[in-house]
Amino acid sequence: MLPEEYSSFNLEHEGTCYRKTNYSSATAEEFEQEKAGAALLLNNSGARRGHDTAIFATVITSDNDTRGPNRFMRKQRDIIGPNAASSEVAQAEHHPDINHNIKNASNELHATAMNDKSFKGRYALNSVRIRTICSDILKVIKQYKPYVGDPVHRQKCLDQLAAIIHHHCGDHTRCKIPQLCTYLQCKEEHPLQYKKH
């Protein structure tokens, strides 16, 4: 039998019901992820699922909120028991969703433009510029993806991320990757035109 906290809540009452859970909207996701972790390993009676239907998640991809994924992984480790601590296969990892991160960056840039009018304008943080900045962030991260764990490529990625805002302001002194900066591409292709006098 599933533990009581995983049984469905009795929310019956007269009139129209606008609630689906006893948890607040801010914390409901955490508890639902924990329930999902249990449901993938246990059937409705609380018995372990067979090898053909049990799912142990080794990679969890979600937004940057780690509480829900951590509860999910902890619940699955608790159900598996001591084997989870000793098995390399049973070591789950949380990978933040890149698209969610890009959306957060976009929202922050839009909020900056709304809160401080000096950032708003045709050549400042307009919608097209924000989309371009977010696209540049995504390109840099995707370029780093095959080299995750390599400290040299990691530093190159961080340097280029730090250069993006300067790049959009016309300062290319921090840009390091020609594929991501037209100014550097032109400088490499036509070095004599960019030679310092």
Same domain, 155 and 70: no
Q: What pLDDT does residue 85 have?
A: 55
Same domain, 80 and 102: no
Residues 115-124: contacts with CB within 8 Å, 24+ apart? none
Task: Return d(Cα 144, Cα 135) in angstroms, integer.
Answer: 14
Amino acid at 114: M
Total domains in the fold of the chain: 2
Same domain, 43 and 124: no
Domain hosting residue 83, numbered range: 4-96
Which residue intervals of the chain are DSSP H helices? 28-39, 67-80, 82-86, 98-115, 127-144, 151-168, 182-189
Same domain, 28 and 75: yes
Q: One digit per residue, pLDDT tens: the chain, 197 residues?
A: 445 444 444 556 677 776 666 777 667 788 888 888 899 999 888 888 888 888 888 888 887 777 888 888 889 888 887 765 555 555 788 777 888 889 989 999 999 999 998 888 777 889 999 999 999 999 998 888 889 889 999 998 999 999 999 999 889 999 888 888 888 889 888 888 776 64
Same domain, 70 and 124: no
Are 159 and 174 spatial neighbours (Cβ–Cβ below 8 Å)?
Answer: yes
Spell out the SS3 assignment of 167-179: HHCCCCCCCCCHH
Boundary-marking domain end, from 68, 96, 124: 96
Boundary-marking domain end, from 45, 80, 96: 96
Same domain, 25 and 105: no
Same domain, 20 and 63: yes
Amino acid at 135: S
Torsional sign, CA 8, 64, 87, 90: positive
Give 129's Cβ-side CA count (13 Å radius): 18
Q: What pLDDT does residue 9 have?
A: 47
Are 105 and 134 spatial neighbours (Cβ–Cβ below 8 Å)?
Answer: yes
Q: How far is CA 27 from CA 4, 31, 88, 96, in A?
A: 18, 7, 31, 19
Q: What pLDDT does residue 197 have?
A: 44
